[in-house]
């Protein structure tokens, strides 16, 4: 497939932000990217499976009413479950960033150990320090090859911004072990020298178990992460640490999956 034929949907709801930045990056990479409100799909004006890449950007969708991402997630899965399932089964790339990660977890698309789950298997809880964290953090690519978004990314320390109050990744010990065994850990928080944060603040900014900053599903085609790669993907903002994540999604589709 030609790169300019790759259609990217940046899906938004009221309160979403970072959609324009994410859209800018995909268009800069040569894809045909658009920001589209969820209502366009609910009204059948747009069809989800006409797109090749689906993005849930950051922000505070629906004012994070009840809890972060839950309203967006429940609306999506209630009204468009069959379309989402078709998209997932086709192994088309899906990425959720910050609030998008929260949406993917609330929707049962992550951790995705055995496909889409109708019950929530993980949570992104309030930061351990009860503070909103808005700063750069240190990450490492912790994936051994399963995640399509992290292919060929360096294992050196990456710096990316965070901006969240609910990024504390929680999961049962049993499912955590499965994530590790299945190579579903995508990114981990580390110190300045790339050593494990071991849950210690400020290197682990929210208290996430196992220093998890991002995970993928069992096929490696769905990625959720709390740091904002779209804010670290252009020289104009001083960093291109996150650009490979988007480039890899485009390349994956370009090569025909």
Q: Which residues contact 64 (CB under 8 A, 6 or more apart)?
A: 15, 99, 166
pTM: 0.97
Catalytic residue among 9, 18, 98, 216: 98
Q: Is 164 a catalytic residue?
A: no
Q: List, for residues 84-97, the tens digit of each pLDDT value.
A: 999 999 999 999 99
Residue 63 has pLDDT above 90, yes or no: no
CA distance 145 to 110: 18
User: Does 228 participate in catalysis according to the annotation?
Assistant: yes
Pairwise CA distance, residues 191 & 205, whole Å: 11
Q: What percent of the chain has pLDDT over 70?
A: 100
- Active-site residue, 230 included: yes
Which domain covers residue 195, as residue numbers? 3-254
Q: What is the pLDDT of residues 130-146, one digit of tens each?
A: 999 999 999 999 999 99
Q: Encode pLDDT of 1-31 as tens digits.
A: 999 999 999 999 999 999 999 999 999 999 9
User: Which one from 18, 21, 147, 228 is the annotated catalytic residue?
Assistant: 228
Set 21, 166, 230, 254: catalytic member = 230
Cis amide leading into 111 (omega within 30): yes
Please list, in sequence order, all residues whose beta carbon lies within 8 angstroms of the beta carbon of residue 157, skipping any fewer than 6 positions away: 138, 139, 140, 190, 192, 193, 194
Query: 36 pLDDT band (50/70/90 cuts)?
Result: very high
CATH of the domain at 109: 3.40.50.880
If one counts the domains in the chain, the total is: 1
Q: What is the pLDDT of residues 154-175, one digit of tens each?
A: 888 999 999 999 999 999 999 9
Mean pLDDT estimate for the chain: 96
* Averaged pLDDT, 111-131: 97
């Amino acid at each position: 497939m030609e790169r300019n034929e790759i259609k990217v949907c940046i899906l938004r709801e009221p309160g979403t932000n970072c959609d324009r930045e994410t859209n800018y990056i995909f268009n800069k990479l040569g894809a045909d990217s658009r920001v589209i409100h969820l209502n366009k799909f609910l009204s059948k004006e747009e069809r989800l499976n006409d797109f090749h890449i689906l993005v849930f950007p950051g922000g505070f969708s629906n004012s994070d009413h009840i809890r972060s991402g839950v309203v967006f997630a429940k609306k999506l899965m209630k009204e468009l479950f069959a379309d989402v399932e078709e998209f997932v089964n086709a192994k088309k790339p899906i990425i959720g960033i910050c609030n998008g990660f929260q949406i993917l977890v609330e929707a049962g698309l992550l951790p995705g150990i055995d496909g889409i789950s109708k019950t929530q298997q993980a949570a992104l809880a309030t930061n351990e320090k009860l503070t909103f964290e808005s700063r750069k953090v240190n990450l490492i690519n912790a994936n051994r090859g399963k995640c399509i978004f992290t292919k060929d990314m360096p294992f050196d320390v990456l710096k990316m911004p965070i901006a969240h109050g609910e990024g504390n990744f929680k999961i049962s010990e049993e499912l955590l072990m499965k994530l590790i065994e299945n190579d579903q850990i995508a990114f981990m928080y580390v110190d300045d020298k790339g050593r494990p944060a071991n849950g210690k603040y400020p290197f682990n900014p929210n208290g996430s178990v196992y220093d998890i900053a991002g995970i993928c599903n069992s096929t490696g085609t769905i990625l959720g992460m709390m740091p904002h790669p779209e804010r670290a993907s252009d020289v104009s903002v001083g960093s291109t640490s996150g650009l490979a994540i988007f480039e890899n999604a485009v390349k994956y589709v370009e090569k025909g999956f």
